[in-house]
Amino acid sequence: MEPVIKSHFVVAAGVTTHYRYVDLNYSGLPSLEPHRPHPNHGASPTFIAVHGLGCSSDAWVPALRELGRAGIYARVLAPDLPGSGRSDKRHKVFSINEVSDWLAAFMEELNVPSADIGGHSLGCQAAMALARNHPERVHSLTLIGPTTGNTLEGFWRYAAGLAAGAFYEPVAYTMCLASMYSEMGIVRYLKTVRKMLQDKPLSETSEIRQPCLILRGEHDTIVPHRVAVDLAGALPVAEFREMKHCAHAIQFGKPREFVQELERFLSLYGDLSATPANGDVMQLAGTRK
Domain boundaries, given as residue ranges, for the chain: 4-268
**Residue 172 corresponds to which amino acid?**
A
Q: What CATH superfamily classification does 4-268 receive? A: Alpha/Beta hydrolase fold, catalytic domain (3.40.50.1820)
Q: What share of the chain has pLDDT > 70, as a percent?
A: 86
Q: How confident is the model at residue 36 (pLDDT cuts 50, 70, 90)?
A: very low
Residue 244 and residue 241: Cα distance in Å, rounded? 10
Strands 4-12, 15-23: pairing kind:
antiparallel
Query: Which pLDDT belongs to residue 1?
Result: 66
Q: How confident is the model at residue 135 (pLDDT cuts 50, 70, 90)?
A: very high
Could you read off the pLDDT of 177-223 as tens digits, one per residue? Answer: 999 999 999 999 999 999 999 999 999 999 999 999 999 999 999 99
Phi, psi of 139 (to 5 degrees): -90, -40
Q: What is the widest separation between alpha-carbon atoms in the chain?
A: 48
